[in-house]
Amino acid sequence: MKRKVQDVQKQHNRQPQRRATPNFRRKMQGVMGCLLLATTPAMAEVEWDFSGFASIGAGKLSNDTLEFMDYTGDEWSMDSDSALALQAIMQTGDRWSVTGQVLAKGFTFGEYSPYEPRLEWLFASYELTPELRVRGGRLRLPYFMYSESIEIGYSYPWVRPPIEMYANFLEPFANFDGVDLTLQKAIGEFDNEFKVFAGSAEAEYRGREVDVEKTTGLAALTRWNEFTFRYCYSWNRMSIYDPDPDIVAAMDGYRLAEQFATAANIPGAEIFGDIADTLRLDSKVYQYHGFGAQWEHGPWTVIAEKLATQGPGKQFSFENDGWYVTVAHQIDAWMPYVSVGEYRSEMDPKINRRILASYEVIGPGIAALDDLRTRTMASISDLSVYHRSTTLGIRYDFHSNAALKLEAEYFSFKSTGQMLFDGSEEEPDHVIATSIVVDVVF
Amino acid sequence: MNKIKPINKIRKALLPLLLGGGLCLSAHADLVVVVHPSNPVANLSEEEVRRIFMGRMRLFPQGEASIEAVDQEETRPEFAKFYEAISGLTPAKLKRQRASYLFSGKGRLPASLPDDAAVLDYVANHPGGIGYVTRDQIDTRVKAVLAISE
């Protein structure tokens, strides 16, 4: 089952489908409304700023049965860490500004074709007081220390932020359409920033449709001397629809078993309906907690982050934990860095327990049902992921607006997790990802 | 202003000779932060100046006028000295932080101007203007709100 799931995922990766969402037009109208609102009082004095950034990267894996983004063991590929973005900021002298940024990425897990331009930011911003700002439009969810600059390779040490924290599965939570309110307030020696946000998001992730109907949360950051600490909490009511024919067939299979058991007056028949429900997510709540700390001491930089997510405990529910620590040291234009991290994703154990319990309702003997149950349990255990990584890299600022980075990342895992395994032989327990990238800002 | 400039030029040329070591004047004199004379702000703390130039404050604390901050070009010693004093970051770290700031929806970076004279012109002509210049370049068209010493 897993292999087929991966095949479907790969097809989706290679031939992404544009989805015309019914909400899209409404949302764009909202965004345009914000823009109009912002441009109306802008007649006084308007200033424009144009800028951009770009990255061009290449990478390769040490094992040719795996796939990490578009990196494989066969040859160097160039899309995963390559991106180009253009930005315009329009500022008026009267507290308003409008920011737009268009990004084209070489690789995403979502519905975009390689290098298809997409709207990363488009918002109007208004300064209510010297300390309070409100923004509305397309924004980014502030989940991580580097959430808002995730694509700007130039702004951080690594080739890409560590995937133990900046996990692939969180990609649908990159952007949202909504509002946020930011308070900048110094209290004694602490320079604080509090943000609250609310909105919605829609995205695809490896062929699954992820609809974040409602997202809301807060982010708090404080700077004190050389230290920065941050915390983000987010509450998401969301649905996931998986069009994978295997999943659809499995759900139908369990529903059929439920009907059969009900018709035969077998007590506990509803357990099959419950199992079918664990294969979908329908308007349930996922919560996110992210912690971050950074220490800037002369040439030293230490960055640490940790995430924890909580599933709904019903339906398709899993929990994730991840953390990393990076130490970097600047020596003139060179900055070597080392990073370690760990990531764990576990399916709700109730799902497996329920399948085992279903054998007491209908015991083994019906081949199709037994096969279905065995495969579901196997695929659920495949969704439980654990990996650890150690990264060595160096950044070289060869120009005042450009940096070259070279990085080797050693992953060891129980399950290949955020990488895809082609299933051709025994699953490897480690892999080295080597990548090189040039980041520029202009 | 036309009267001041030539005098400054002469002083700039003479002072290093007087100091005897061929010292670059602008790299060693103190900096002052200047605003438009009509700005109700009488003085700013180093903390407030840091927040303004690091983009964490966009309206002046008194009067709530929009801030229009200007930088000197990155290659100028004034730029390096100013940011070292207010942020304590190494030039490489500052550069990364500013790139992150610019592209993460937080706002614009201060506009970049070629020298002290251009900063003075800008601030003198913009009620919301704020910049930093070498102390002895300051003239009556602007108001000093903070001195930054080495």
- pLDDT digits 0-9 by tens, A30-84: 554 544 444 444 445 788 999 999 999 999 999 888 888 889 998 999 999 999 9
pLDDT beyond 80 at A333? yes
Count of CB atoms situated within 10 Å of the CB of A50: 9
Determine, for residues B92 and A335 on separate chains, whether the beta-carbon distance falls below 8 Å: yes
How many residue contacts between A and B have a Cβ separation below 8 Å? 96
What mean pLDDT is predicted for residues A4-32? 42
Q: What is the pLDDT of residue A424?
A: 78
CA pair distance B48, A192, nearest whole angstrom:
13
pLDDT beyond 80 at A378? yes
Owner of token pair 């001397």 = A225
Nearest chain A residue to B101 by CA: give it. Answer: A149
Query: What one-character-per-residue DSSP string does A2-53 give?
Result: HHHHHHHHHHHHHS------HHHHHHHHHHHHHHHHHHGGGGS-EEEEEEEE
pTM of the model: 0.84
Highest mean pLDDT among A109-113, A229-233, B72-76: A229-233
Determine, for residues A298 and B90 on separate chains, whether the beta-carbon distance falls below 8 Å: yes
pLDDT beyond 90 at A1? no
Confidence of residue B29 (pLDDT cuts 50, 70, 90): low
pLDDT beyond 50 at A143? yes
Q: What is the pLDDT of residue B20?
A: 35
Q: What is the CA radius of gyration of chain A?
A: 24
Q: What is the pLDDT of residue A314?
A: 87
3-state secondary structure of A97: strand
- ipTM of this predicted structure: 0.77
Query: What one-character-per-residue DSSP string does B57-116 give?
Result: --B-TTTTPBPEEEEEPTTSHHHHHHHHHHH---HHHHHHHHHHHHHTTS-PPPEEESSH
Q: What is the pLDDT of residue A171?
A: 86
Q: In chain A, pLDDT over 70 holds for what percent of residues?
A: 90
Of A326, A283, A277, nearest to A304 (Cα)?
Answer: A326
Q: Regarding predicted confidence, which is higher, A215 or B59?
A: A215
Q: What is the pLDDT of residue A44?
A: 56
pLDDT beyond 90 at A16? no
Q: Does B47 touch chain A (CB under 8 A)?
A: yes
B106 min Cα distance to partner chain A (Å)? 9
Confidence of residue A26 (pLDDT cuts 50, 70, 90): low
Determine, for residues A140 and B104 on separate chains, whether the beta-carbon distance falls below 8 Å: yes
B64 min Cα distance to partner chain A (Å)? 6
CA pair distance A257, A269, nearest whole angstrom:
8
Determine the distance from the C-alpha atom of residue A368 to the mean position of all C-alpha atoms in its chain, rounded to a whole number: 36
- The predicted-structure confidence for A280-328, as pLDDT tens digits, reads as follows 899 999 999 999 999 999 899 999 999 999 999 888 888 999 999 999 9
3-state secondary structure of A206: coil
Tokens for A104? 């084209």
Determine, for residues B103 and A87 on separate chains, whether the beta-carbon distance falls below 8 Å: yes
Q: What is the pLDDT of residue A136?
A: 98
Q: What is the pLDDT of residue A30?
A: 53
Q: What is the pLDDT of residue A45?
A: 76
Q: What is the pLDDT of residue B106?
A: 87
What mean pLDDT is predicted for residues B119-129? 95
Determine, for residues A148 and B100 on separate chains, whether the beta-carbon distance falls below 8 Å: yes
Q: Regarding predicted confidence, which is higher, A83 or B28?
A: A83
Q: Which residue among B59, B74, B90 places its CB closest to the CB of A127?
A: B59
pLDDT beyond 80 at A341? yes
Strand partners, B130: B35, B69
Q: In chain A, pLDDT over 90 holds for what percent of residues?
A: 66
**Taking chain B, what is the end-to-end CA distance rounded to the nearest angstrom?**
28
What mean pLDDT is predicted for residues B59-79? 90
- The predicted-structure confidence for A381-424, as pLDDT tens digits, reads as follows 777 889 999 999 999 999 989 999 999 999 998 877 777 887 77
Q: What is the pLDDT of residue B13?
A: 45
Q: What is the pLDDT of residue A8?
A: 35
